[in-house]
Amino acid sequence: MSAPTMQEVARRANVALSTVSYALNGTRPVSEETRQRIWTAMAELGYQPHALARGLASKRSHIIALLFPALPRGFGATELEFVTGAAEAAQRRGYHLVLWPTEIHAVGDLQQLVRQSLVDGVLVMEVRLTDERIDLLRQIGVPFSMIGRPSTVSDMSFADIDFEQTTRDAVAYLVGLGHRYIAFLNHSQELFEAGYGPSVRAAAGFEQAAQAAGLTPISRFCGDTALAGQEVFEELIRAHPEVTALASMNERATVGVMQAAASRGWKIPDDLSVVSLVSSARVAEMTLPPLTALTPQSAELGRLGVETLIGQLEEEHYELVQRLLPCRLVVRGSTGPSPDPAIRSHMKSGSLQAATA
């Protein structure tokens, strides 16, 4: 079977052949409704425009670089959903998304990336409160948008998780179940001190929410591994045996927490309730019991990040976009009512004696 042609796309979308060309090359404005009809026709026919030809015609590559530095914890299912959401949004608009997984520490690195129009713009993720990549992009003059945000964003477009609201929702949910001793598990102290936005904002949100509920905030930093989760949880319970619930920002360490609780003979959620923050449904459903989680709107954040960037590239009068999206609470089997304090205190005392005997 021969590959579909641009003429077939034009017939399917009920537009002139030249309109398809304008939509692909960006040489003339095309209405959003017409553009969507063309993308739909392309998807239905399986038409793939020739990227090099488009670039030569329009002096643009229709390629977006996603700056997502390789994390010490690697890429998990939750991180992948953000990337997939951005890639799908780019494809719908006729762009390709390429992943740039390395750190960028010099203007030369970015200049190498954007020279000769290899990419039209940049989407930045894993943003820190003070992020040198943002400063470099502004210095070079490359169009960019962010999934995440630095501390100052007055004139920059971004889409980000509302971490403060997410932690408030987690605390309110657990307080509603009767929990009065709630601990917060963050990422590592190194990430926090480096100004990693999600870590800093979630911690601040937890402190505020706990104090507003009349609770004493109990927080711990933790490496992004199951073993670190086990070790930090054991230290946490020794220091605060009254804890009956845990809100975890660290989904890899959460697995270790659940393992450590099981090794003590505790049952989740009878003896300990666990809420995972910013975890995809795929991750939350892997544990036993499945995790109650505040799940990010990954596809929507990816779409917003891409759309705001393409708006800068294609619209003559671009409007600044700044959006915060809360996570959605999905209740599963890892949370339940707070156990009776007297019974819980006795049970913990016995567990600690058994562990040290």
Per-residue pLDDT reduced to its tens digit, 28-70:
777 878 888 888 888 888 877 655 445 544 456 788 989 887 6
Average of per-residue pLDDT across 237-246: 96
Share of the chain above pLDDT 70, in %: 83
Location of each CATH 3.40.50.2300 domain in the chain:
54-161+298-326, 163-296+330-356
pLDDT of the residue at 315: 79
Amino acid in the structure at residue 148:
G
**Under CATH, what is the fold of the domain 54-161+298-326?**
Rossmann fold (3.40.50)
pLDDT of the residue at 59: 57
Q: Check: pTM over 0.75? Answer yes or no.
A: yes
pLDDT tens string 89-118: 898 888 989 888 766 555 566 666 666 557
> Per CATH, the architecture of 1-53 is what?
Orthogonal Bundle (1.10)
Q: Residues 226, 256: contact at Cβ < 8 Å? A: yes
**Under CATH, what is the fold of the domain 163-296+330-356?**
Rossmann fold (3.40.50)
Cis peptide before 29 (omega within 30 of 0): no
Location of each CATH 1.10.260.40 domain in the chain:
1-53
Q: Residues 114, 144: contact at Cβ < 8 Å? A: no
pLDDT of the residue at 105: 58
CA dihedral (103, 109, 113, 114) in degrees, to 10, reads: 130
d(CA 303, CA 326): 15
pLDDT of the residue at 195: 94
pLDDT tens string 133-165: 888 888 878 889 999 999 998 889 999 999 999
Cis peptide before 339 (omega within 30 of 0): no
pLDDT grade for 345, boundaries at 50, 70 and 90: low
d(CA 89, CA 306): 6
pLDDT of the residue at 111: 65
d(CA 33, CA 298): 25
Cβ contacts of 146 within 8 Å, gap of 6 or more: 123, 124, 125, 127, 134, 156, 157, 158, 159, 160, 305
Q: Residues 336, 273: contact at Cβ < 8 Å? A: yes
